[in-house]
Amino acid sequence: MVRKFSLRLGGEAERLAGITREIIELSRLQADGAITEFQPIEVNAVVAQAVDQHRIFAASKGIDIVAAKSDNVRVLADEARLVLAISNLVSNAVQYSPDGSRIGVGISHTEGEVEISVTDQGIGMTKEESERVFERFYRTDQARSRTTGGTGLGLSIVKHIVANHGGDIRVWTKQGRGSTFTIRLPEVRESHISDSGEEQSVA
């Protein structure tokens, strides 16, 4: 019994620590000038980093993550924060997908805009749930969230990161068929070297 309750206490402590970290991150993102370290970033690189963080867990469920590539596509971004945003989307996709399914991460660009999409074959959402899914602490599946340790803050963090990058995020979903979350960001199309020798980019 002692061992059982010790494991439960450890799990709850870890979950509360995760909530605390996410609340702090969300508070930082909501502050003025939250992100100042913008640099031209290869989209392929941030997608690869985000996906690699979840490959082991996905493999344990028999889930295949397929990440597309698009050469020479760049955005002006805080690399660590953009990786976090995409990572949160991939994490949700893995958690809410059935074993043996597939998750796709796509990259496309047109007319100066880059789209990064994460598509799963999971449980999907109702129209009401999709309208609220970016709210703080909102969770579509309370029982599953308790099992996986979900906090209901991940998608809110994604929304704020994307907004701070001058972009937006939207979701397509259907119950029983899965969901697609799409981040849209301005594309970096030109770059030049300033007098100081630093690279400057124009979207």
Tens digit of each residue's pLDDT (9 = 90 or more) over 9-23: 665 566 565 555 655
Tens digit of each residue's pLDDT (9 = 90 or more) over 22-48: 555 656 655 555 566 789 999 999 999
* H-run or E-run covering 64: strand 64-67
Mean local confidence (pLDDT), 61-75: 91
Encoded tokens for 23: 């609340």
CATH for the stretch 2-202:
3.30.565.10
Specify the pLDDT at position 135. 82
Q: pLDDT band at residue 153, thresholds of 50, 70 and 90?
A: confident
Among 126-135, 154-163, 187-196, the range scoring the smallest mean pLDDT is 187-196
* Domains of the chain, residue spans: 2-202
Could you tell me the CA-to-CA distances from 65 to 52, 121, 128, 178, 200 in Å, in that order? 9, 11, 28, 15, 34
